[in-house]
Amino acid sequence: MEHLKKRADFLRAARGVRSVEGAITLETCPTPEPDALQGRLRIGFTASKKIGNAVARNRAKRRLRAAASQLLPLLGRERHDYVLVARGTTVARPFPALLSDITTALKAAHKKLDAQAGDV
């Protein structure tokens, strides 16, 4: 897994497929060709000021990173970018429920991506 660092990458994912589930929002899109590497996926994390102060935002992103490190190697697709966006309940959500939210969001996003690929 590689981390997204450029704002343009986050904006591209925001224009892609979005799936909202429980305490997270998942945005995903295929990795652009120059950056796409075999067997690699890219991940980014974000938490706006709506989440709370810096301590709350950092805690939310840490929880998202921990959950993503467990799930994305198993459920993520190579050559795709994923952005996990924290929501207001991310900090207080029990960790198993957070894992379930991400799993459900990933499955829904992949289903939408497959439907889009079928339409093209």
Q: Which helix (H) or strand (E) holds 37?
A: none
Tens of pLDDT along the chain (120 residues) come to 889 999 999 999 999 999 999 899 999 998 887 776 677 899 999 999 999 999 999 999 999 999 999 999 999 888 899 999 999 999 999 999 999 999 999 999 999 988 887 765
Residue 107 lies in a domain: yes
Q: In this structure, is residue 54 part of a structural domain?
A: yes
* Inside any domain, residue 16: yes
CATH code for the domain in which residue 107 is found: 3.30.230.10
Query: Which residues constitute the domain of residue 21?
Result: 2-115
Q: Is there a domain that residue 67 lies in? A: yes
Count of domains forming the chain = 1
CA 68 to chain centre: 8
> Does residue 120 belong to any structural domain of this protein?
no
Q: What angle (nearest 5°) sits at the alpha carbon of residue 48, between those of residues 42 and 53?
A: 125
DSSP class of residue 6 equals S
H/E element, 116:
helix 95-119
Q: For residue 111, how far is the Cα from the chain centroid?
A: 15
Which strand (E) or helix (H) includes residue 24?
A: strand 24-30
Query: What does each C-alpha distance from 60 to 42, 64, 75, 87 come to in angstroms?
Result: 19, 6, 21, 8
